[in-house]
Structures are given as C-alpha cells and as structure tokens.
Chains A and B, each alone.
Chain A
Amino acid sequence: MSSIDIAKAVKIAEGVHWIGFYDEKAGFHCNPYLLIDGDEAILFDPGSVQDFPCVLSKVCQLVDFKQITHIIVTHQDPDLCGAIPRFEELIYGVGGSCKIVTSTRASFLISYYGVISDFYCVDQNDWSLTLRSGRELKFTSTPFMHFPGAFVTYDPETKILFSGDIFGAFSFTWELYANEHYIEAMKAFLENYLPSNKIVRYAMAQIEKRDIRMIAPQHGSVINKDIQKHIDALKGIECGIDLEEE
C-alpha cells in the first residue's frame, strides 16, 4: 500500500475526491467520489448502507451537506444506491435539497429505495448537466453495461470518466490507483457481470471518443495511466452470452 492516507478523503484531481471505503477483508470495494465546484458538490454513486459511515465521514471532511445539489447514480444496484436515503436525510435536514441524476429506466427502480428527491434523467436532458458555475458534465449511454439504462459521466474540466461498474474490479489487495495486474482484476469482475462482447465493444467505442485522463470506477481502482490499454483490454473481453454461443 502506498503512503496515501485512505482513512481520509483523497484528492484525485482538482476538486475531485475519492471518498470510498477499503475493507481489507473484502474482495470488492466501494468508490464513491465527490466533485466540488464552487459552492456546489456532486456525489457520484454514493455506495451501500454498510459503507455509509465511512463515506459520510469523508464527505464531512470536505463539504456541508447543503452544498450537495446532485447525486449521480449510474444504475439502481444497492451497492451504489443504498446510502441515498441516508444522505437525503442529512441534506434535507439542514435545509438543502438535491436531485438524483440517472437514466429514466433506473429512476423507476431507484424510487423503491424510498428516495424523496426529484430525478434529473440524463436521457431527457440532452445527456448533460450544467452546474451553477456553468461547468458542464457530459453523459454517455452505455446500454446493458450492465443495466439497460447504464451510462458514464465525463467531466471535460478534469478529463475524468466516472464509469460506475465499468472498469471496476475484484481485488483483495486493493490500491487506490491501478497497478500492473489491474487488467486481470478488472476482467475477473466484469466477465461475470457484462452480457456480451458486442455490447462491451459498443460501449468502448462511445467511451473512447472522449479525451480521458483518468477513469474513476465505482469498484476497483482509479486508472490514471495507460487508459487506452484498459479500454482495449475490455474490447477483448468474453463474457455472458459469448460463452454460451461457443
């Protein structure tokens, strides 16, 4: 493990912080992120109920709850969304409010967590979100990766791709930044959750249109070098129905 203090929020780019939880006994880790833009804060895939205390402590190090105006969630799974109602309690409890940014398809399912915020559906808003400062976040549809309405978020200012489950990994020897064995760790996870190589290649073709400096997945490690190598590795992945068709 490097000298990075993962007990605290870790700045991975200007205004962007990793606020995840490293469970040394688990092979699967949660990586929420917080983007701070002026007086506004955006929470990405806030995580599970189990991870909430750790994630919360890191959010508290960085912003007041009132500053959180948007929670971006790539799909409805509990490891990403379980903590949303708890964050809402804190945000609304101090007089704030926020929107849940997701796809229309995911919004139907996320409502079952008992969320109280309005949805901002990316597919009904020209696949972009403009912050108060004028900064724009861009969304890209990555259908069936692994949810039909899945998408990724690109921040043109930092050139970070917030990728949700895509580029995530299984790892018991987790490090914040991807190491030389990360492609194997990534395949270990994604081969089990993605539906077919054809679908992966479509998503990678969309993703590589962006000028990406860093990939920030919700599981696994942050990829801060050899971006194209990791994209190419996923293009070659065989998963889901591919094996049945052999």
Chain B
Amino acid sequence: MATYKDLLELIAKREFGIIGERNTRSIYSSIGLDLNGDVTLEKNDVSFGDLEKLMDVLKEKYGMVAIIGCKIPALRMAKQSELQLPDVLR
C-alpha cells in the first residue's frame, strides 16, 4: 500500500517535468519537505495536510496546469491505496 510519502514523491517526479527540478525542490522546501537527490523525501511522516499544502502552493504559483499534469498518476495511486485527495486532484 502506498503512503502520502509515496504520493508526494510521485508528484515530485512529475513536477520535475512540468515546472522543472529547481522549482520543484524549492516548492517542496517551502512547505517543509526536502527532496533527496533520488527524488525521495527526507521526512517519513508525510500527511494529507502536506499534500493539501503542496497543491495550494502549486496552484498559486503555476495555476491548474501544474495540478492537472500530476492528477492522473495521483488519482491512480490514491485509488489503489485508498488515500484521500484534495478536491483539486479529484
């Protein structure tokens, strides 16, 4: 079963393509989540709240393109692992 940590790592990889690696690392850091070189999160206890915060910052800085671009894999992982998603990802 996937966790919110897995989900946020999946989104990070996708955002490397959409908003770029540097911008993705910067946004994750701004919400207190640091990404390692292999695009894993340093922190283990990642929550739904972190996902909500990430979506808010992405939407504010880049608009819906950055959200829609990661929506399909996020939906799939959430569905398989019964993870709650913020409205913007549903």
Using a CB–CB distance below 8 Å, which chain A residues touch chain B? 26-28, 169-173, 181-189, 191-192, 238-239, 243, 246
Contacts and interface: CB of A to CB of B under 8 A. Distances in A.
B70 A172 contact: no
Interface stretch (B29-37, B46-54, B71-79): B71-79
Interface of B: 13-14, 16-23, 62-63, 65-66, 68-73, 75-76, 79
Contacts, number: 71
Contacts of B14: 184, 187-188
Contact of A181 (B17, B62, B66, B75): B17
B17 A191 contact: no
B52 to A, nearest CB: 20
A246 B71 CA distance: 16
Contact of A173 (B13, B20, B75): B20
Contacts of A173: 19-20, 22-23
B18 A172 contact: yes
A246 B76 contact: yes
Contact of B69 (A189, A238, A243): A189
Contacts of B17: 169-171, 181-188
Contacts of A27: 18-19, 62-63, 65-66, 69
15 contacts: A27-B66, A170-B18, A171-B18, A172-B20, A172-B23, A173-B19, A173-B22, A181-B17, A181-B21, A185-B17, A185-B69, A187-B17, A188-B18, A192-B71, A238-B72
